[in-house]
């Protein structure tokens, strides 16, 4: 496992020396034209935070500072930044073939990646439909669920069940089944036949849990006790949940909860979809969250770590029976599913995915995540006595530190901590007053100490007011 020298980072074959202070290079581009996603644009452009390079565990800011990546970019750079194998694979593919049509044509890379993903997936999830992001993959999975029931002669099954505080991307399908109100309130009518399970986050029973909490499996029974009677099981197509809800603030599934959802879905003929955009590729220890919790869904939505974040790519992994019912039972010489994207299985994305999967295997990164998880757990729980901390929870290589909201200022305390950590050379992520940590799986114990130690110092400073 390679490690980053504390004093020097080789970026674009040039050593960048980190000093205590840096002169800002002249900026040769304006900031105004770019409408940034999920960002307070005016505040950001008044005090921008810009990265210019990255390597392994660190980003490099435009003024040359090293910033330890405590979030794997945005939950996606599981093998660390700018890994030579992935860079070389993308360069080689770009020189050989930049683009291949995805409709009625193909290229070898898409078939190779699909086969490798199918081998990694649990149970009989062995058919892969490519998209370009988690958002697109979620919408794809929802459409496959509807098409599956129609092919079975149950076209009335159109109700989709999500969960409160669930995040399933930013498409209309994803925000419909998602349960984060801020992502929905500005957009009016969404998908018409959607309902939501209650979320599982309950600090009265589960505060400061280490791993999956003991309390809460019964919350799955709402599916059978309220939602199914309300809509009738014969009208429900699918239930979609994250094995661990990441973007809403690292909400850990109670022991037995996902198992109970699986049993209820089986009893009533509902498809169970796991959104593994965050939990896939070693984030919870094994390859997929389904492996970590011991539950096999009917479909998995994947993205992010599939290409180590290097090229956008998403996918749906479906059980053999779903593919057979939609594809193999259709009349011959017909398009079985009228769905897809111009860039499905893009050659550069598949090259990045192959190289990423090689790295995960060669460096045993899934095993490394499992090996590091106990040390990471102890480190993050050492923050329990920091000012305003109301909860700490973790699973695999993910942790959340929840803070008490300031009076009339929800989210402000965590965001000030984010800014303080950035100032001190560490990147964290916040959602509301929850701080999330999800470092690349190549992180060392020393870097875990640095990450948590810097966060502790920032919490002390921001906790004074």
Quick: pLDDT tens for 268-311: 999 999 999 999 999 999 999 999 999 999 999 999 999 999 99
Which pLDDT score is estimated for 408?
86
**Which is nearest to 395 in space by CA: 246, 287, 284?**
284
Which pLDDT score is estimated for 23?
60
Q: What is the pLDDT of residues 97-117, one digit of tens each?
A: 999 999 999 999 999 999 999
Is residue 4 pLDDT above 70, yes or no?
A: no
- The residue behind tokens 């999920």 is 38
Q: What is the mean pLDDT of residues 63-69?
A: 96
**Band of pLDDT at residue 464, cut at 50, 70 and 90:** confident
Whether 351 and 383 share a structural domain? no
The tokens of 20 are what?
Answer: 């205590």
How much of the chain, in percent, has pLDDT values that exceed 70?
94
Whether 350 and 445 share a structural domain? no
User: Containing domain of residue 432, as a range?
Assistant: 4-79+364-462
Whether 206 and 155 share a structural domain? yes
Whether 118 and 170 share a structural domain? yes
Which pLDDT score is estimated for 189?
76
Q: Structural domain tally of the chain?
A: 2
Q: What is the mean pLDDT of residues 121-128?
A: 97
Q: By mean pLDDT, which of 184-188, 315-319, 385-389, 402-406 is the weakest?
A: 184-188
How much of the chain, in percent, has pLDDT values that exceed 90?
91
**Which is nearest to 257 in space by CA: 221, 283, 285?**
221
Whether 257 and 406 share a structural domain? no
**Which is nearest to 298 in space by CA: 337, 327, 345, 266?**
266
**Across all residues in the chain, what is the average pLDDT?**
94
Whether 358 and 370 share a structural domain? no
Q: What is the pLDDT of residues 126-163, one digit of tens each?
A: 999 999 999 999 999 999 999 999 999 999 999 999 99
Is residue 57 pLDDT above 60, yes or no?
A: yes
Q: What is the mean pLDDT of residues 442-462?
A: 97
Whether 119 and 261 share a structural domain? yes
Q: What is the pLDDT of residues 169-208, one digit of tens each?
A: 999 999 999 999 999 999 987 999 999 999 999 999 999 9
Whether 110 and 188 share a structural domain? yes
Identify the CATH number of the domain in which residue 203 sits: 3.40.640.10
Whether 258 and 314 share a structural domain? yes
Which pLDDT score is estimated for 465?
65
Last residue of a domain, one of 303, 327, 362: 362
pTM of the model: 0.94
Whether 372 and 354 share a structural domain? no
**Which is nearest to 211 in space by CA: 188, 241, 187, 244?**
244
The tokens of 436 are what?
Answer: 């999330």
Calpha distance 276→262 (Å, rounded): 16
Calpha distance 87→73 (Å, rounded): 17
Last residue of a domain, one of 318, 338, 362: 362
Whether 153 and 266 share a structural domain? yes
Identify the CATH number of the domain in which residue 405 sits: 3.90.1150.10
Which pLDDT score is estimated for 22?
52
Burial label for 259, CB within 10 Å (0-12, 13-18, 19+), is middle
Q: What is the pLDDT of residues 10-53, one digit of tens each?
A: 444 444 444 444 566 678 899 999 999 999 999 999 999 999 99
Last residue of a domain, one of 344, 362, 380: 362
Is residue 62 pLDDT above 50, yes or no?
A: yes
Whether 331 and 396 share a structural domain? no
Exposed e or buried b per residue across 174-197, where buried means at least 16 C-beta atoms within 10 angstroms of its C-beta: bbbbbbbeebeeeeeeebeebbbb
Neighbouring CB atoms inside 10 A of 85's CB total: 17
């Amino acid at each position: 496992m390679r490690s980053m020298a504390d004093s020097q980072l080789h970026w674009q074959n040039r050593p960048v020396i980190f000093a205590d202070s840096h002169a800002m290079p002249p900026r040769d581009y304006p900031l105004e034209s770019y409408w940034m996603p999920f960002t307070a644009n005016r505040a950001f452009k008044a005090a921008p935070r810009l990265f210019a390079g990255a390597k392994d565990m660190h980003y490099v800011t435009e003024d040359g500072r090293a910033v330890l990546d405590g979030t794997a970019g945005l939950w996606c750079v599981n093998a660390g930044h700018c890994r030579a194998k992935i860079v070389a694979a993308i360069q080689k593919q770009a020189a050989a073939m930049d683009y291949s049509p995805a409709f009625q044509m193909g290229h070898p890379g898409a078939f190779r990646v699909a086969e490798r993903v199918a081998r990694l997936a649990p149970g009989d999830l062995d058919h892969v439909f490519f998209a370009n992001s988690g958002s697109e993959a979620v919408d794809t999975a929802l459409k496959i669920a509807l098409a599956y029931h129609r092919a079975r002669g149950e076209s009335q099954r159109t109700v989709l069940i999500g969960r409160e505080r669930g995040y399933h991307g930013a498409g209309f399908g994803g925000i419909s089944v998602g349960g984060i109100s801020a992502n929905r309130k500005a957009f009016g009518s969404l998908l018409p036949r959607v309902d939501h399970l209650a979320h599982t986050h309950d600090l009265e029973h589960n505060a400061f849990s280490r791993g999956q909490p003991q309390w809460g499996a019964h919350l799955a029974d709402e599916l059978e006790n309220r939602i199914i009677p309300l809509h009738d099981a014969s009208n429900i197509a699918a239930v979609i949940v994250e094995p661990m809800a990441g973007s809403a603030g690292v909400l850990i599934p109670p022991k037995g909860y996902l198992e109970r959802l699986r049993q209820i879905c089986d009893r009533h003929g509902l498809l169970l979809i796991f959104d593994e955009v965050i939990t896939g590729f070693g984030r919870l220890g094994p390859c997929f969250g389904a492996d970590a919790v011991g539950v096999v869904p009917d479909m998995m939505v994947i993205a992010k770590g599939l290409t180590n974040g290097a090229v956008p790519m998403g996918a749906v992994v479906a059980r053999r029976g779903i593919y057979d019912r939609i594809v193999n039972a259709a009349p011959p010489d017909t398009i079985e599913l009228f769905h897809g994207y111009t860039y499905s299985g893009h050659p550069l994305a598949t090259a990045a995915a192959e190289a990423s999967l090689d790295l995960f295997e060669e460096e045993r990164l899934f095993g490394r995540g499992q090996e590091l998880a106990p040390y990471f757990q102890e480190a993050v729980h050492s923050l329990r006595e920091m000012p305003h901390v109301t909860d700490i929870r973790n699973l695999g290589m993910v942790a959340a530190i929840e803070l008490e909201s300031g009076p009339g200022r929800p989210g402000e305390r965590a965001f000030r901590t984010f800014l303080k950590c950035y100032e001190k050379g560490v990147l964290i992520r916040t959602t509301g007053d929850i701080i999330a940590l999800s470092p690349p799986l190549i992180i060392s114990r020393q870097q875990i100490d640095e990450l948590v130690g810097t966060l502790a110092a920032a919490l002390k400073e921001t906790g004074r007011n």
